[in-house]
Amino acid sequence: MAAAGLSSLTCRTKTPSLTITVTQDGAILLDDQQVALEQVIARAELAKARREPIFVKHDYPPEAAPSAAAKLHLELIGHEILFQRVESGKHHGGHIAS
């Protein structure tokens, strides 16, 4: 009985995730604080090791992508870190890009 209760509790816990935001001026944010690219990669590596989902939020219009966004994507891909792009509600209706 205790195992069944623990099992149902485990199923209800939310999986942590990492959201990285790139702003229109090229700032990279984690938890609403600006950080260096190296710090983002270190946190993403940790999230990858924990099998946590990683999201990259673009807080800029697509026609005005800052160079920091391209650098971030290349670094994540270079470290074999899978991520999902999320467009900002301000510029794209808040949908997850495919």
4 occurs within a structural domain = no
The total number of structural domains that make up the chain: 1
Nearest residue to 20 (alpha-carbon basis) of 77, 64, 84: 84
Q: Which CATH number does the domain housing residue 88 bear?
A: 3.30.420
- Cα 22 to Cα 36: distance, rounded to the nearest angstrom: 12
> pLDDT tens, 46-98?
999 999 999 999 999 888 999 999 999 999 999 999 999 987 766 544 444 44
pLDDT of residue 11: 52
10 occurs within a structural domain = no
* Global confidence as pTM: 0.74
Region class of 58: left (phi > 0), else alpha (psi between -120 and 50), else beta: beta
26 occurs within a structural domain = yes
53 occurs within a structural domain = yes
pLDDT band at 16 (very low <50, low <70, confident <90, very high): confident
What does the block give as tokens for 23? 């702003």
Mean pLDDT of 11-24: 81
